[in-house]
A and B are shown apart, each in its own frame.
Chain A
Amino acid sequence: RKEVEQDPGPFNVPEGATVAFNCTYSNSASQSFFWYRQDCRKEPKLLMSVYSSGNEDGRFTAQLNRASQYISLLIRDSKLSDSATYLCVVSLQGAQKLVFGQGTRLTINP
């Protein structure tokens, strides 16, 4: 079983729609959680950290469910510029490294 699993998509949604991604992780000792965004032929960039209480940054909302070991990302009022691959990322306590999911590819259509 992969340490971090995501639906690779692709997700094609119209501009203005709300879209949600989920991700599951296998190790219950995972400690830090993130969503990264990767544009085509570019490096991954930190979108947001994910906290147990859930957190919001503008149109983006992240949730963590430790009991079920899944993380979600909700994008409201999607823009064309949101088109990218979204990577779910976790770290293990004491592991000193981040483990990346395969990514979910999102395309926003005009």
Chain B
Amino acid sequence: DTAVSQTPKYLVTQMGNDKSIKCEQNLGHDTMYWYKQDSKKFLKIMFSYNNKELIINETVPNRFSPKSPDKAHLNLHINSLELGDSAVYFCASSQEISRGYTFGSGTRLTVV
């Protein structure tokens, strides 16, 4: 029944590793997003896909690569993890921006 689900919920990994976070939504929304929430609690957009097409790519290191196999799924792969990548990553979806987003429960990434 979960509308937007992310896995894993927690991820602890060493510097230099490569990891992926997965997101799925069953709301039938056309647009999906990745946001990063850092230790100061700012939520910043990273990427957005509309119906599998990349529409927003903010200034994010190219170690981060999103992929959308279909409009219900948006994954985030991170290469060569760095300490500064530690944050909570939220997936979200929307049908119309005027109605706001529905967020997933977040993935807490800790790089050690």
Contacts and interface: CB of A to CB of B under 8 A. Distances in A.
Interface of A: 31-32, 34, 36, 42-46, 49, 85, 87, 89, 91, 95-100, 102-103
Contacts of B42: 100, 102
29 contacts: A32-B98, A34-B100, A36-B100, A42-B105, A42-B106, A43-B90, A43-B106, A44-B43, A44-B90, A45-B103, A46-B100, A46-B101, A46-B102, A49-B98, A49-B99, A49-B100, A85-B41, A95-B97, A96-B48, A96-B50, A96-B55, A96-B97, A97-B56, A97-B97, A98-B101, A100-B43, A100-B44, A102-B41, A102-B42
Contacts of A96: 31, 48, 50, 55-56, 97
Contacts of B97: 32, 91, 95-98
The bracket for how many chain B residues form the interface is: 20 to 34
Given A46-B100, A98-B97, A100-B42, 15 more contacts: A31-B98, A36-B100, A42-B106, A43-B104, A43-B105, A44-B43, A46-B102, A87-B43, A95-B97, A96-B55, A96-B97, A97-B97, A100-B35, A102-B41, A103-B41
**Most chain-B CB neighbours within 10 Å: which of A36, A43, A46, A91?**
A43
Interface of B: 31, 33, 35, 40-45, 48, 50, 55-56, 90, 97-106
